[in-house]
Copies of this chain bind each other. A is one copy, B any other.
Amino acid sequence: MTYEDLLEIEAIRQLKARYFRLMDQKRWDEWEDVFCEDVVISTPDDTGEGSDITGNRSFRQYLEPILAPIITTHHGHMSEISIHGPDTASGVWSMEDHLDWPPDSGVGQMWGTGWYEETYRKGNDGQWRIATLRLRRQRIQVEGNRVFPAERPTA
């Protein structure tokens, strides 16, 4: 790790902070810009599918209507960020999210934990953005009942 790396790591930490805050404050126009235009999003544990979403516009179009009626809190913890070159980096974050659906939805409250595994790319404008994002779920609870994983680990 070099002094230069420290500057890049802090910039990426603040990038990820904006990712969380702008999502939870539903400031979607600003939120779009934390991603590369060709970002690849992989959330197989949430969607139950292997298919990825490509593109920051597509990801917003997918997520904004889902989250619109929901109070969402997403927190990242314990970042492990590595700088690989002048414009490439990767990182792992521990993740926790709390989602609160409206009463008439019948869904209730969701709580989950997991890890983000990400790569970052610095643009010609000198800004780091998320290039790939994979969310590995550890567990999901709805109204206090575990819905993921289906089976508990055994000794």
| Residues of A near any B CB (own CB < 8 A) | 1, 3, 6-7, 9-11, 13-14, 16-18, 20-21, 24, 65, 68-71, 73, 75-81, 92, 94, 96, 98, 100, 102-103, 113, 115, 138-139, 146, 152-155
Contact between chains at A14 and B80 (CB < 8 Å): yes
Contact between chains at B80 and A78 (CB < 8 Å): no
**A80 contacts which of B17, B80, B92, B115 (Cβ < 8 Å)?**
B17
Q: Is the interface of A mostly helix, strand, loop or mixed?
A: mixed
Contact between chains at A69 and B7 (CB < 8 Å): no
**A77 contacts which of B65, B77, B98 (Cβ < 8 Å)?**
B77
Q: Looking across the interface, which residue of chain B has its beta carbon closest to that of A82? A: B14
